[in-house]
Structure 1
């Protein structure tokens, strides 16, 4: 059978409650630094860039890369602010190269996804959900991947959102390939204390979920 050519995946992100920040300039610098770091680590078709207000966007060749970028950007930014993400698979069009105006089904699907996240945030029980994935109309999903990905994201988001500041830093370090000994030295704690947090806070589970999700085509 001929190989099916999958459409790219658009990622739209924004900063939660950014207007409440007392240091808007510092927050903007932190966002730009986080996006640059993510762009260096994750394969992309179009890099993550700040667009208007507190929103940013990028385009990825496959779903796994988009999911990888979303988690990395969120974890890097957590000391400064929380962020939410909408991912959409479909075709894309550039209406204006100079002004960077994008259009097409993938963008509409990503926008639908991030609106769904915003709506869910109004319910206390789903307040930790920060990422959603949608398929554009006409995109095939014979294996039900979209539903399975959303289910995994609900669990991953809840675990990440429940982490303490220190455990969040440990998760970032692990995502960047640091060893537990290196993390212990950076935090000024013992390697056994790092190991205990990795187990007790589910960091190993988050990493395993992330490793599986980023293999998705």
Structure 2
């Protein structure tokens, strides 16, 4: 048995999308791009309907991955995430890889159900929740979920350009490079990153794992 952070992903309001197949393809390519920066234990794979699963080595990489995915998605496509830390058991081989079970997946299922419940009640901007299977890690749930709620509200309020700039900055691109892409000045990029909350999000990601660079 291996200890990981399992992530269950589904598409927000998928039935309202004009082209669900295109949305699924976009999600898969976005996760693949992020995986080049934050390698998963097991890459994203589709399960049933509009749901996907992926396994990350720790909470910090899971939070960073879901942050970048939300920032990089475009054309009205958004995702909901359930993060669960715990153990993963490989039950038997399957067509798309080993069939897995274990406390990490049970926790992730509870977490995405809670994210969906909060989104429909008191926190319409909520897209992510975290559950820890081990009692010794349960104390961290509140801290991680507090961060996720604030992150999701900031990201949900960003314009497409603000998301692009935030993602580019987190991926290690310079403000000069981002300015060239957007056809604006470096000063405008700097102001945008401060005003949108992108710098705060990046600082929060660094605080999760201060011994690692954002783009390593």
1:179 match: 174
Structure 2 residue corresponding to 1:97, chosen from 89, 93, 96: 93
How many pairs were matched up?
208
Q: Is the 8 A contact 2:5 2:62 kept in 1?
A: yes
Instruction: Quote the Cα distance in structure 2 between the aligned partners of 1:214 and 1:131.
Output: 19
Structure 1 residue 206 displacement after superposition: 0.9
- Which ranges of structure 1 fall in alignment gaps of 5 or more residues? 1-5
1:120 match: 118
Structure 1 residue 214 displacement after superposition: 4.4
Structure 2 residue corresponding to 1:146, chosen from 138, 141, 146: 141
Q: Is the 8 A contact 1:89 1:139 kept in 2?
A: no
Structure 1 residue 194 displacement after superposition: 1.0
Q: Residue 95 of structure 1: SS of its match in structure 2?
A: strand
**RMSD of aligned C-alpha atoms?**
1.8
2:47 match: 51
Pair 1:21 & 2:9 matched: no
Deviates more, 1:30-39 or 1:113-122: 30-39
Q: Is the 8 A contact 2:9 2:53 kept in 1?
A: yes
- Which ranges of structure 2 fall in alignment gaps of 5 or more residues? 212-216
Pair 1:131 & 2:128 matched: yes
Q: Residue 52 of structure 2: SS of its match in structure 1?
A: strand
Q: Is the 8 A contact 1:90 1:139 kept in 2?
A: no
Q: Residue 37 of structure 1: SS of its match in structure 2?
A: helix
Structure 2 residue corresponding to 1:196, chosen from 181, 185, 191: 191
Q: Is the 8 A contact 1:180 1:191 kept in 2?
A: yes
Q: If the length of structure 2 is used for normalisation, what is the TM-score?
A: 0.89
2:214 match: none
Q: Deviations over 1:23-44 (max 9, x none)?
A: 2232122112112112221132
2:78 match: 82
Structure 1 residue 157 displacement after superposition: 0.9
Pair 1:38 & 2:34 matched: yes
Structure 1 residue 80 displacement after superposition: 4.3
Q: Is the 8 A contact 1:68 1:214 kept in 2?
A: no
Pair 1:210 & 2:205 matched: yes
Instruction: Quote the Cα distance in structure 2 between the aligned partners of 1:16 and 1:189.
Output: 32
